[in-house]
Structure 1
Amino acid sequence: MLLTGADIFAEVLVEQGVDTLFGYPGGAVLNLYDSLYHYRDKIHHVMTAHEQGAAHAADGYARATGKTGVVLATSGPGATNLVTGIATAYMDSIPMVAITGNVGTSLIGRDSFQEVYITGITMPITKHNFVVRKVDELADILRDAFRIAQTGRKGPVLVDIPKDVTSAKAEFVPKKPQIPEMHTYIEQKDLEQAAEMINAAERPVIYFGGGVSASQAGEELLELARKAEIPAAYTIMAAGVLGYGDPLNMGLLGMHGNRTTNWAVNEADLVLAIGTRFSDRVALNPDQFAKRAKILQIDIDPSEINKNVEVDHSLVGDVKQVLQQLLPLVKPAKHPDWMALVQSWQAQDYHPKNSSTRITPHQLIGKICELAGPDAVYVTDVGQHQMWAAQYIRHIRPRSFLTSGGLGTMGFGYGAAIGAKLAVGDRPVIHLTGDGSFHMNLNEACTAVSYELPIITVIFNNTVLGMVRQWQTAFYEKRYSSTDPHRKTNYVKLAEGFGAKGYHCESVAEFAQAFEQALKSKGPVWIECVIDKDEKVLPMIPAGGTIEDMIMD
């Protein structure tokens, strides 16, 4: 059938299973929006307050579901406003298709109104990007974009569509989505060598990351851990893969990980790194990381092997499929002495003190977990509150802790919470943020109000840029340069101005009452919690340090 480029765009979205799209209209994409009007019974378009919010919403939708998030923006500033959101998705390997409009093909390169070279700008932060030059190429390019986003190591893809391509016509032939199944083949000798390393280990540790979530390999990971009795530590991107309270779950690893996980890696004779990349927030000093251990790495991306830390052996492929092939070769084992040592370290872990007179972060998060229930999805911004959340939330299921791990994007949270809420339906979505991060994109409150999304935002308000101030305290002799913005924001009045509900709390008891009311709300709620500006995220290993440099108080 003969269709315009705009209708081909909509048809391919439907064909690819897209039912939710985040975006903001503008001149270069008017034809696309006109087509979306006619397809509104099949594609739910969510208009955000800002294109960055739309990108984060598409990202949050993808993180919560595993599907490809889709965002649409116009040319020029609309396109450039997506850049931070695309980079956030790229650093955390989140599948996303970003579609931008552009000036007509005859105007490209003439510094036309709202023209930018968006494919050049985003080339370093996408898996691939395309400029569509002819309407008869549009359908297959869009299909390729969805395939690339989900194939191998997942990530964002950008498609730039000039305006005249959206109005031109071409023959459209429907096709079924073609996301090829990945078939990981590992040489038998490599599998046997990996299994021998595991079977011979006396002090093994599993260190796993977001790749386990991406490949939905949680069951296989747990089976391996239990079969060979291997205690496990996770990165911030893998929270929830192993349930809170599982005896083999040691907790968060790295700069703000607990004493047990960091000591276990330091004393291990084998570190089995699964779906993780040895980032500088985990392997803070690469030359000293797991220096007593042999390292076996399993990852889908061959470029991650030996990139940050030299490993002794590696298996490259989809984590789920690699573990399925490896498990039959791993012998059942027990490591009683090693487990006893781990448990002795756990008894010495850092435990913050409770307070009956003020709000402490760990008590606040404990109360949230108690009241929100096991189905809650937590979305954070970036800073101290993010680390407290990673440390203290009782994670029990995958895809329920959404945070910007690699890029560390302040302002990520509200947009991502909107995307997550639209993805998970009736499950509670709790947005945890600091006053610094929240000010960056709090304008997305109008989106949550417009779409009647009952997102509960908990603001850890210490009136300063807490994480930067913590570093200034520890490493800059308390020279607090530009970390106290002296803001006078009244969050209750501001929430009401947006059409949301706001609360101000100075005790955990006040918070509990407010949170219980928020859980009954049919729209967004903000709960401001007053936190002491000298609260610290502990423990902490300084950048470039080792376990010997850990700060406990």
Structure 2
Amino acid sequence: MEKQVMSGALFIAAVLKENGVRQIFSCPGAHVDLLLEACRVQGLPLCEAVSEQGALHAADGYARTTGELGVAIVGSGAGAAGTITGLATAMLDSVPLLLLVGQVANDCLAGDCLASVDISNMSMPITKHNFLVKNGAYLTEVIPFALKLAQSGRPGPILVDLPQDVQSSIVLPESFGKKASPETASLGRQTAAALDEAVSIIQNCKRPLLLAGGGATAKGAMLSVRRLAETKGIPVATTLMGIGVMAPENEYCLGFSGMHGSLLANRAVCEADVLIVVGSRFSDRVTGDRFRYGEGKHVIHLDVDPAEVDKNVFAHVAVVGGIEQSLLHLQECLVPGKWKEWQTELALWRSEYQEKYDGERLNAPWIMQRIGTLTKGQECTFVTDVGQNQMWAAQHLQIESPRQWVTSGGLGTMGFGLPAAMGAQAARRDRRVVHIAGDGGFRMTCSELYSLQRQKLPVLSLVIDNSCLGMVRQWQQLFYRERYSASLAPLAPDWECLTAAYGVRAQVVETPEEFEAAWQEAWQAKEPRVIVARIPTSDLVTPMLAPNSPLDTYVEVE
């Protein structure tokens, strides 16, 4: 960075550029014009969203797709408050985000001024850390540290609250040149001892299983999981957030485990005598009954965050440190076990649980399987919303790598899909982004079609229209004796007219043949497109565990 006197806003933009930020997502508002202008001066591309929540989700989708820092800029007051859902989504899924928020000047902070809100305290529980900068001199410390903190250890969102007079303050040249470099977690003596204990347990077991969570999706960790599985003969199941760590055609890949996980993966978790868990927080949707999850087996937990150890499931061995380094240690010390009998048993189960698809009528599992076939070998990213559409996609798509799969796991944020797809497409303009949503979630943020059309981002949206909030309705059917409350949506919008208002073409399909034709046309188009697939309201996601039940206890569905 050239050492010259500049404003606080220009300094922030210069630091972002120096640290490799290639894209910023924004929603203009009060007290942020100086910062947006500074970004323009520095040549930082701005991708504008319709709402502040959309800007956060877009930065989130960008970060998950690239593995880089996602950056968003929003205005003060209501604009800042509109980021709460996006921050919580990123926090629970450990996504590296930097949110820069405009704020009233320092002398107005306590004066009930227009467009002023205490966003720092509001966001404290749902950010990794946040800063209210009251003196421009502190920017030289805060901004590089915020960049570093968001990406170090367990990643997460950082919020920086920037009063207007701080943005216009003068930053002196001797303060420049601090570049943020995320720290790499290393293995200490205690961690090495825990790994040695883990090696001993694994080496003497009969049925080992790797469970890859969101913490295993970093490139180095993913490659280490794959190498450990293939060279030592250890099968791998994943959580929802770990999908893609193992390619689906890999002989050691069992699919994802949990409430709507595969029968094969869930049975393997139940029958394993050692569970090697890589970067998972043991969500209730992963474990079912947490008190019975570890019964009859040793649980070895590898995680970068010590706060996750023994929080939800007791670990017999806890390995806290860099996940990639921990896996490399296991790789070096383990010798291929005598687990042929276990592998043979899993192969028999795989054959027993082979999925059969019904192509006679339009249904979501068939659609997802068909999309997987049609996109195989092509550069493609899948971004889902939340609900039945998300589970059907997780079960039946063919995800080759973690960066190909973007979804809201921890918070379960409906409306996440479309703005996140915008961020994913802005990150990778060389590959097509397929956005999958239900009709309920799509209605929540469909206004971002305007942003897609304005930015010329060719996201292909697939809307599963079952005229209801599908997962809510499913629970009400199964657990509330079909007493449906606010989950049915019989008044469907005119999809073609709705999307046409934003200049986007939609096609409504009701048969497999109509879907095939619509997909081919939409895929060839180099512009935003929407396909609405109408399926029966009564279709359910199966298999399904009852809440807080063991992983082999399924709800009976007629």
Same fold (TM over 0.5): yes
**Using the alignment, how far apart are the partners of 2:496 and 2:157 within structure 1?**
37
The answer to whether the Cα contact below 8 Å between 1:195 and 1:329 also exists between their aligned partners in 2 is yes
Tell me, in whole angstroms, the C-alpha distance in 1 between the residues paired with 2:486 and 2:193: 57
Could you tell me which residue of structure 2 aligns to residue 31 of structure 1? Answer: 34
Q: Report how far residue 316 of structure 1 moved.
A: 0.5
Contact 2:467/2:490 (CA < 8 Å) preserved in 1? yes
Q: What's the CA shift for 1:324?
A: 1.2
Encode CA deviations 1:19-61: one digit per residue, 9 max, x unaligned.
Answer: 200011122111112222322xx31001111110000000000
1:3 has 2:11 as partner = no
Are residue 287 (structure 1) and residue 291 (structure 2) matched? Answer: yes
* Distance (whole Å) between structure 1 residues aligned to residue 321 and residue 203 of structure 2: 21
| CA distance 1:261–1:223, change in 2 (3 Å) | same
Deviating more after overlay: 365-374 vs 195-204: 365-374
Matches for 1:189-268 after TM superposition, within 5 Å = 189-214=193-218, 216-268=220-272
TM (normalized to structure 1)?
Answer: 0.97
Partner residue, 1:371 = 374
Q: Which amino acid aligns with 1:114?
A: A
Shift of 1:241: 1.0
Question: What are the Cα deviations for residues 361-396 of structure 1, in whole angstroms up to 9, with x where unaligned?
Answer: 111112212222332100000000000000001111
- The answer to whether the 8 Å contact 1:228/1:334 transfers is no
> Bigger shift: 306-315 or 208-217?
208-217
**Contact preservation (8 Å) 2:57, 2:416:** yes
AA aligned to 1:248 is Y
For the pair 1:362 / 2:365, whether they are aligned, the reply is: yes
1:274·1:297 contact (CA, 8 Å) conserved in 2?
Answer: yes
Q: 1:417 aligns with which of 421, 431, 438?
A: 421
In the other structure, the counterpart of 1:339 is 343
Q: Counterpart in 1 of 2:186?
A: 183
- In structure 2, the CA distance between the partners of 1:484 and 1:287, relative to structure 1 (3 Å rule), is same
CA distance in 2, matches of 1:486, 1:522: 33
Provide the secondary structure at the position in 1 that maps to 2:483.
coil
Q: Evaluate the alpha carbon distance shift between residue 440 and residue 490 of structure 1 in structure 2; reply closer, same or farther with a 3 A threshold.
A: same
Give how far 1:215 is off.
5.9
CA gap of 1:352–1:475, structure 2 versus 1, over 3 A, is: farther
Within the candidate set 413, 433, 440, 1:429 is matched to 433
Q: Percent identity?
A: 36
Say yes or no: does 1:462 pair with 2:463: no
Counterpart selection for 1:484 from 446, 467, 488: 488
The offset of 1:343, in angstroms, is: 2.2
2:446 matched to 1:442? yes
Q: Distance in 2 between matches of 1:19 and 1:219?
A: 26
- Counterpart residue number, 2:143: 142
Q: Tell me the amino acid that sits aligned with residue 499 of structure 2.
A: A
Match of 1:12 among 10, 15, 28: 15
Q: Does 1:74 align with 2:75?
A: yes
Q: Structure 2: how far apart are the matches of 1:207 and 1:162? A: 45
What per-residue deviation string (whole Å, max 9, x for no partner) do you get for residues 391-432 of structure 1? 001111221110000000000001110100111122110000
Q: Is the 8 A contact 2:464 2:533 kept in 1?
A: yes
Q: Does 1:107 align with 2:111?
A: no
> 1:91 corresponds to which residue?
92
Measure the CA separation in 2 of the matches of 1:524 and 1:552. Answer: 40
Paired residues of 2:25 and 2:58 also in contact (CA < 8 A): yes
**CA distance in structure 2 between the aligned counterparts of 1:366 and 1:483, rounded to whole angstroms:** 27
1:482 Cα deviation after fit: 0.8
Q: TM-score when scaled to structure 2?
A: 0.96
Q: Partners in 2 of 1:552 and 1:344 — Cα distance?
A: 24
Q: Deviations over 1:97-129 (max 9, x none)?
A: 001011000000111111100010100001100
| Residue 330 in structure 1 maps to residue 337 in structure 2 | no
Instruction: Report the CA distance between 1:351 and its aligned residue.
Output: 3.3
Q: CA deviation at 1:95?
A: 0.1
CA contact under 8 A between 2:34 and 2:168: conserved in structure 1? yes
Q: Distance in 1 between matches of 2:36 and 2:345?
A: 61
Give the C-alpha shift of residue 492 in structure 1: 1.4
Does structure 1 residue 551 correspond to structure 2 residue 552?
Answer: no
Root mean square deviation, CA, Å: 1.4
Query: Could you tell me which amino acid in structure 1 is paired with residue 38 of structure 2?
Result: S
In structure 2, runs of 5+ residues without a counterpart are none
Equivalent position SS for 2:158: strand
Offset at residue 350 of structure 1 (A) = 6.9
One-letter amino acid of the structure 1 residue matched with residue 249 of structure 2: G
Which amino acid is the alignment partner of residue 9 of structure 1? I
1:538 aligned partner: 542
Contact 1:268 1:290 in 2 (8 A): no
Deviation at 1:88, TM superposition (A): 0.3
What amino acid does structure 2 have at the position aligned with 1:468? V
Measured in 2, the distance between the counterparts of 1:552 and 1:481 equals 22
| Aligned mates of 2:187, 2:300 — CA distance in 1 | 17
Cα distance, 1:345 vs. partner?
Answer: 2.2
Q: 2:318 aligns with which of 307, 314, 317?
A: 314
Q: After the TM superposition, which of the residue ranges 336-345 and 387-396 deviates more from structure 2? A: 336-345
How far apart in 2 are the matches of 1:344 and 1:552?
24
Displacement of 1:203 after TM fit?
0.8
Q: 1:348 offset after TM fit, Å?
A: 3.0
CA gap of 1:548–1:64, structure 2 versus 1, over 3 A, is closer
- 1:111-156 per-residue CA deviation (whole Å, 9 max, x = no partner) reads 1111100010100001100011111111321111110000100000
Structure 1: distance between partners of 2:220 and 2:407: 18
Whether contact under 8 Å (2:546, 2:553) holds in the other structure is yes
